[in-house]
Amino acid sequence: MDNTDAQLLETIADLHGIPEGSFNIRKNGTLLARNSTADIEIVPKKDKDGIDIIVKAGVKNKSVHIPVLLTVGDFKDTVYNDFYIGADADVTIIAGCGIHNDACGDAEHDGIHTFYLEKNAKVRYVEKHYASGKGEGKKVFDPVTKIFLKENACFTMESTQLGGVTYTNRKTYATLGKKAQLIVKEKILTDNDERAVTDFKVFLKGKHSRADIVSRSVARGRSVQKFGSDLIGKNECFGHVECDGILLDKARIVSTPKIDAVSPEASLVHEAAVGKIAGEQLLKLMSLGLTEQEAEDAVIKGFLN
pLDDT in tens, 126-175: 999 999 999 999 999 999 999 999 999 999 999 999 889 999 999 999 99
Using CA of residue 271, residue 276, residue 282, residue 283, what is the dihedral sign?
negative
Residue 278: pLDDT above 80?
Answer: no
- Could you tell me which residues come within 8 angstroms of residue 292 by beta carbon, excluding any fewer than 6 positions away? 282, 286
Question: What's the Cα-to-Cα distance from 37 to each of 22, 24, 86, 95, 117, rounded to whole Å?
Answer: 6, 12, 15, 18, 19
Contact 20, 36 (CB under 8 A): no
Residue 201: band (very low, low, confident or very high) from pLDDT cuts 50, 70, 90: very high
Residues 42-96: pLDDT tens digits? 999 999 999 999 999 999 999 999 999 999 999 999 999 999 999 999 999 999 9
Taking the model in full, what pTM does it have? 0.94
Dihedral angle at the C-alpha atoms of 157, 163, 169, 170, nearest 10 degrees? 0
Residues 226-245: pLDDT tens digits? 999 999 999 999 999 999 99
